[in-house]
Amino acid sequence: MKIYFAPMEGVTGYIFRNAYSGIYGHIDKFFAPFIAPSESSPMTPRERKDITPENNKGINLVPQILTCRSDHFIDAAKELQSMGYREINFNLGCPSGTVCAKGKGAGFLPETSALQRFLDDICSYSESSGIKISVKTRLGYYDPEEFYDLIDIFNAFPISELIVHPRIRSDFYKGDTRKEYYAYALEHSKIPLVYNGNIFTCEDYDELLITFGKLDTIMLGRGLISDPSLADKLKGFGSETDLKKFRRLHDTLYNEYQKVMSPDINVLYKMRELWSYWQTLFDGKERDIKRLLKAKKYADYEDIVYRLLP
């Protein structure tokens, strides 16, 4: 089984990826949060800093592009290729209102003719330049039945992998995934598939395996943030969450964010966001977690954290 770390804007940036991969293993590929190229530039200085190879040493990283303009995609792809990247992921899943309103992310899915032209352009570039293009998609924008046409469209192009998050745009990240459509993909996709969505525990994975019969490659997002040992567990390296390793992850992140962020409250916002995922590891400690999620000073924050993680 292969495990991919999902891109999560604001969460899985280079500091997180380095901290995680220095402590945990068993991730076959990390996907970087999206780069959104514009007319004036293929990427912002912040986006460049996130994916520059010197900030991602030893990490098998796939950059992701979010756009509906093939010329912008190709400009960014050229730049990424010059940095040494050999695969680029194309985002067709982002459900955000501002992104979709511009016809990008999931907002590109209903524009099937434009999407075909776009894929034609970027796949021609992929073939002439030798860079692989993978796609991360939802089932559709308005209706999951859009997926039947989308699969036919994707099948017509030399896409290296198709990561399917079986939800439509209006599902955002809530509720059950629509597994019957992933089952359809398993039957009809000519492209190697990756399943993404709602795998939080080994039991969730086992259930999917029963539903689908096989599941070679999965992508984990929130489940892997919430329990950083999840990939170890799924690959059979231990069955418990190792709190010593978790403390190392916490301390590394806390120190590294302090080096690059100010004022203190911004570091705490970042850590509090992570704790909104990590709280599931601390059953019975709800009062401490509630205080932690409101901490405004390092001293208060550290007092609670080091009580939870002696």
Ligand X SMILES: Cc1cc2nc3c(=O)[nH]c(=O)nc-3n(C[C@H](O)[C@H](O)[C@H](O)COP(=O)(O)O)c2cc1C
* Cβ neighbours of 255 (radius 10 Å): 12
Q: How far is the CB of 303 from ligand X (least distance, A)?
A: 28
Q: Which two tokens stand for residue 213?
A: 């019969």
CA 294 to chain centre: 27
Q: With binding defined as CB under 6 A, does residue 42 bind ligand X?
A: no
Considering only the stretches 52-60, 116-124, 197-205, 291-299, report the one whose residues sit in contact with ligand X under the rule CB under 6 A: 197-205
Q: With binding defined as CB under 6 A, does residue 269 bind ligand X?
A: no
CA 281 to chain centre: 21
Q: With binding defined as CB under 6 A, does residue 165 bind ligand X?
A: yes
Give the amino acid at 201: T
Kindly list the distances between the CA atom of residue 159 and the CA atoms of 122, 127, 150, 152, 201, in Å, as whole numbers in the listed order. Answer: 10, 10, 13, 12, 30
Q: With binding defined as CB under 6 A, does residue 104 bind ligand X?
A: no
Residue 1 near residue 234, CB atoms below 8 Å: yes
Distance CA 262, CA 265 (A): 7
Q: For ligand X, what does the binding mask look like between residues 75 and 94, x meaning CB under 6 A?
A: ----------------x-xx
Q: How far is the CB of 66 from ligand X (least distance, A)?
A: 7
Q: How far is the CB of 93 from ligand X (least distance, A)?
A: 5
In the set 173, 237, 269, 306, which binds ligand X (CB under 6 A)?
173
Distance CA 160, CA 228 (A): 28
Q: For ligand X, what does the binding mask look like between residues 219 and 258, x meaning CB under 6 A?
A: -xxxx-----------------------------------
Residues binding ligand X (CB under 6 A)? 6-11, 33-34, 64, 91, 93-94, 136, 165, 173, 196-199, 220-223
